[in-house]
Amino acid sequence: MNRSASFRNNHLLFSAILFILLLVANGGFSQSKSFEFYYSSGKKTPNNLFAFKDSLKKWDKDYNIQLASVQGYADSIGSERSNLLLSKKRANAADSILRSLGIQTKQVEVKGNGERNPAYTNSTKSGRAKNRKVLVSLMLISKYQAVVLTIGSSLDTANKKGGCEERDTVFILPEGTEIEIKACCLEGMKLSDIQVEADEVFTKDKMILNKYYTQTTEGNCLSTGGMLKLNIKNKSGEPVKIKKGCDITIRIPQLSQDTAFDLYEMQKSKQGENTGWQKRDEKVTYLKNRRMFEVKLSSPAANINLDFLPKPFAGLVKNKRPFLKTRYVRKGKAYLSGNSSVLDLKRFRPKKFNLKDCDCTSSPDEFVTVVASKKGKIYYAHKRRSELKQVSYIRHRTIVRKKDYVKFATKKQLEEQLRKDFGLK
C-alpha cells in the first residue's frame, strides 16, 4: 500500500506495535495468597483495610485475582453464641468489601468460626487482638500465558554432536503473536527451563491502562494498533541470555491492510516512566503468506514496536494554542484518541491540557477521554471532541462539563467501561 496515497485519502490504518520487556520476575502462572483483616473489639470494619488495598494494587498488575474463601473469627470475650454471630457478620462484611473492590468471585465459602480454633492465646490482650480477624484466601492467576510448541520431529544432527538435546521452540500467545527461540541458543540454560509471560495490548483501553501512548520522544503522533508486554525467565528466576550468533524471532499478526513498518524503541525516564518511542535500524519483514510481521533480535533486552509516522492532517488545528478544559475535576488524566492513535495530553494547569500537538487524527474521528478522582470516586468522560462544548474566544477551548462525566466506585468498573468504549476496533 502506498502511504502517501493512503493519507491523501485521509485514511489512517492500524499498525502493530510490539512492546517487548525481557526481565526477571517472581512466581509462576498461579499462586495462592492469604490476608488477615484485624478488628477492634466488637467492630465489623477491619483496621488494616488500606494495607490490603495496597497489596491488591501490587497483585493486580500481573494477576487476575479470584476470591477462594472468607473465614471469620472472634476472641473469647462474651458468649460463644454472640462470638459466632459476630464472626459471621465480620466475614459477610469482608466479603462485601472484597466484591466492591472488583475481586472475581464464583463459589466462595463465607463462614464464621466464632472463638473456635484460635491461632493465638485468648489469655492475653495481644493474643485476643490477633484472634479478632477475618482470614481471606485468594487465588492469583497470571495474566501472562503462552502455548509452547517444538519444531521438528527429530533432533538436529549438529545439536546432537554438540551435546545439545533440544529442538527449536515457539511460544504462541493468545492473540497469535509468536516468539521463536532456536535450539541450543540459550547461554547456561535449557529451553525447557524457560517461562514466557506475555500480555498482548492490541486495543486502546489497554494502552490507556498500561500508559503506552502512540507518541515519539519528539512529541509526534504514531499510527499504531497494539502492543505486547513480554517477560522471559527461567524457572529459577534468572535472566535469559542469548548466545552470540543467535537471535529471537518475533512474529506479530497483521492488524491492518498496511504492510510497511519501521522499528521503534521505547525510552524511559530515570523514574521508569515511558517518555516516547525512538526509531531503530532493524528490518521488519512482512510475511504475506502468513499475514504477519517478523523481526529478529540479537538481544532479548529490548523495548520495541512496529509502527510508522503518518503525515499530519493539514489544517486540523487552525488555532495556534488550543486547549482542553476539564470542569468539576482537577489534576486528572486526559487523552485524545483516533482510529489508530492514543495521545496523552500534557496538563499545564490543574484543569487545562494542551491540544496543539494532536495533528495525526482527522477531526470527525477524535475522541476525548478524561479520568480523574474526586472524594474517593472515579470520574470518567469519553465523547467525540465535536460533541463537547467549543469556545473560540482568544484561544480555542474544548470543554468537558460536569454532565459529561459518569461516576465509578472502583477501578474495575472503570476498566469495564474502557473495554466497552475502546475494546473493539
Give per-residue pLDDT as tens, 63-93. 778 888 889 999 999 899 999 999 999 888 8
Quick check: 416 pLDDT over 80?
yes
- pLDDT at residue 320, rounded to an integer: 56
d(CA 12, CA 339): 7
Please, which pLDDT band fits residue 417 given cuts at 50, 70 and 90? Answer: very high
Domains of the chain: 3-26+144-307 (2.60.220), 30-142 (3.30.1330.60), 323-422 (no CATH)
List, for residues 116-148, the tens digit of each pLDDT value.
888 889 989 988 988 999 988 887 776 655 666
Q: The cell 489544517 sits on which residue?
A: 315
Alpha-helical (H) ranges within 132-179 are 157-161
Q: Is 208 helix (H, G, I), strand (E, B) or coil?
A: helix
What's the pLDDT tens digit per position in 16-38? 333 333 222 223 345 677 888 88
Over pLDDT 90: what percentage of the chain?
16
Q: How many CB atoms lie within 10 A of CB 83?
A: 23
Q: How far apart are CA 350 and CA 325, in angstroms?
A: 9
CA distance 162 to 164: 6
Q: Residue 314 CB: number of other CB atoms within 10 A?
A: 6
pLDDT, tens only, 38-65: 888 767 778 888 888 888 887 877 777 8
Looking only at the bridges linking them, the beta strands covering 397-400 and 323-326 are: parallel
Q: What is the average per-residue pLDDT within 270-291? A: 86
**Tell me, what's the pLDDT at 309?**
67
Confidence category of residue 225, pLDDT binned at 50, 70, 90: low
Report percent pLDDT > 70 for the chain: 78
Q: Which three cell numbers stand for residue 200?
A: 498482548
Which amino acid is present at 139?
A: M
Which strand (E) or helix (H) includes residue 331? none
List, for residues 236-275, the tens digit of each pLDDT value: 777 788 888 888 888 888 877 778 788 888 888 888 788 8
State the pLDDT confidence band at 408, using cuts at 50, 70 and 90.
very high
Q: Are 179 and 250 in contact (CB under 8 A)?
A: yes
In a 3-state reduction of DSSP, which class is residue 1? coil
| φ, ψ (nearest 5 deg) of residue 335 | -135, 150
Q: Residue 212: its pLDDT value, please?
A: 84
Q: Scan for cell 476539564, then name that residue.
A: 326
Nearest to 119 by CA among 68, 77, 79, 75: 75
Over residues 190-217, the mean pLDDT reads: 81
Q: Which helix (H) or strand (E) holds 381?
A: strand 377-384
So what's the pLDDT on residue 229? 75
The distance of Cα 254 from the centroid of its chain, to the nearest Å, equals 21
* Average predicted confidence (pLDDT) for the chain: 78
For the stretch 333-385, pLDDT in tens is 999 988 778 888 989 999 999 886 555 666 667 899 999 999 889 999 999 98
Q: What is the pTM of this model?
A: 0.62
DSSP notation for 246-301:
--EEEEEE--SS----EEEEEEE-TTS-EEEEEEE----EEETTTTEEEEEES-S-
